[in-house]
Copies of this chain bind each other. A is one copy, B any other.
Amino acid sequence: MAQKITKRSESFSDWYNDIVMRAELADYAPVKGCMVIRPNGFALWENIQRVLNKMFKDTGHRNAYFPLFIPESFMKKEAEHVEGFAPHCAVVTHGGGKELEEALYVRPTSETVIWSMYSKWIQSYRDLPLLLNQWANVVRWELRPRLFLRTNEFLWQEGHTAHATAEEAEEETVKMLNVYRTFAEDYMAMPVICGRKTESEKFAGAVRTYCIEAMTQDRKAIQAGTSHNLGQNFAKAFDVTYQTADGKREYVYATSWGVSTRLIGALVMAHSDDQGLVLPPRLAPTQVVIVPIWKNLDERPKVLEYVARVRKAILEARTCSGVLGDLSIELYVDDREQYTPGWKFNEWELKGVPLRLEAGPKDLEKNSVVAVRRDTGKKEFIPLADVPTAIPARLEDIQKGLFERALAFRKANTFALDTYDEFQKVIVDGDGGFVSAHWCSDAECEKGIQDETKATIRCIPLDAQPESGQCIRCGKPSERRVVMAKGY
């Protein structure tokens, strides 16, 4: 606890690492570029999984598990795919003490192995749509690894669906993008822009890639989820056809979509502060911590008895209130004797518990508790009788407050610009941010922008209105604005 957390204003990058390490979300593994997800981080991932699993199930998907290893020959069946992924793969050459006849790639993503199975399972229109998802580890060798953001191995989910028509596949691609948006905004309290990736940024093997992009506190963009319309590319590579209702054979249409443990990095960068982690109540493993306070040990029994009453009032509330949706309130009474109340306050601020309650002899006398919000630090007295309604209400306030604060921050740091000079002032010389600007749709110009400013075209927003303009860099005509920013 003695080590200090670097301030965001000093170094955002060091601050991020300090938060991840000090809040014990993750640690560096002995294998270069890999991380260990510690219990505090994994509990967040489990909550992410639980919520998304329900959303996937509600949209008709089922979970399955496909193999870790992909034969080299499979990787090569889809030309763009192998070009995009093979250079970043880990390759197994020996197994069971012998050199393998064919090298095996550790999956960087599972389209190839899954579509080889779909060729076996899909025969008729009756087998469609096929809507599967898997939770798995994947491996992609990274040049500059960062905890949660880019690691050689990470955990993710990958949905892989098969459809009879191009329209259905497109509908699914957009539907799952919206699932991700709902999750990011309603659970992570993180506003996102839904958009389409440019040709050069799309998934290797996709027809179209959609994404959600969030803004970090250092005014960069972080891609938080992607959804791909794969057209018939993989169906053709793995010869997956189906018999239509009128007896013809057609290739199947595919989608894939995924989010990863990178979301935890995005969550940290969206809300946390110089005191530590700030977690939205709907994803926090513990929503409320109660710290009993006494000056001398005589007071201890009656304070603990009072704390037990407070605890009971909250536990009763959590079964009937439902204001936090499907998440119940998890609470922890920190009655450890070896630590002072002040130490505990710091500890739970560092760990990001949304609401801290304090109860001492004076609170007992007044029949109330002190409540301190993690997001604002605001302190208030809540009468015991109000606890069952006030606690869920405060948590809901925090959830909304985090979203609104992040949204206001994004608005304040998003600029509609029309000259390359202004653009460079914001992105290169200034504090950064999202720039809404015209672009000629030319990949050369896109590359030029990146080389000259380190900003990339994050996406073409789905809600972008048609608007005639001139490319911010080359002046050629443009039909709509895109979002540019430096990214993670």
User: Which A residues form the contact surface with B (CB < 8 A)?
Assistant: 27, 29-31, 34-39, 42-43, 45-46, 62-71, 74, 86-97, 104, 106, 113, 116-117, 120-121, 132, 136-137, 139, 141-143, 152-153, 155
Contacts and interface: CB of A to CB of B under 8 A. Distances in A.
A322 to B, nearest CB: 15
A90 B69 CA distance: 10
Nearest to A39: B62
Nearest to A87: B97
A144 to B, nearest CB: 12
B31 A104 contact: yes
A20 to B, nearest CB: 14
B92 A64 contact: no
B92 A96 contact: no
Contacts of A30: 67, 71, 74, 113, 116-117
A37 B65 contact: yes
A38 B64 contact: yes
Given A90-B94, A137-B68, A46 B31 contact: no
B91 A94 contact: yes
B65 A36 contact: yes
A355 B48 CA distance: 33
A286 to B, nearest CB: 12
A34 B66 CA distance: 9
A138 to B, nearest CB: 10
Given A36-B117, A87-B97, A67 B104 contact: no
B65 A155 contact: yes
A152 B90 CA distance: 18
B65 A34 contact: no
13 contacts: A29-B117, A31-B71, A31-B104, A43-B62, A68-B137, A69-B152, A69-B153, A86-B97, A91-B94, A93-B93, A93-B94, A95-B152, A96-B142
A230 to B, nearest CB: 19
A126 to B, nearest CB: 8
A427 to B, nearest CB: 29
The 7 closest A-B pairs by CB, nearest first: A96-B141, A39-B62, A37-B65, A34-B67, A91-B94, A29-B67, A90-B95
Contacts of A64: 36-39, 42
A22 to B, nearest CB: 14
A137 to B, nearest CB: 6
Contacts of A63: 39, 42-43, 46
B95 A92 contact: no
Contacts of A65: 36-37, 42, 45, 155
B31 A67 contact: yes
Contact of A31 (B37, B69, B141): B69
Given A30-B71, A31-B69, A38-B64, 5 more contacts: A34-B69, A36-B65, A42-B62, A68-B106, A69-B153
Contacts of A153: 67-69
A95 B108 CA distance: 12
Contacts of A27: 117, 120-121
Nearest to A97: B87
Contacts of A70: 31
A21 to B, nearest CB: 11
A45 to B, nearest CB: 8
Nearest to A34: B67
A104 B89 CA distance: 13
Contacts of A142: 96
Contacts of A97: 86-88, 141
Nearest to A137: B68
Given A92-B90, A95-B90, A97-B87, A67 B35 contact: yes
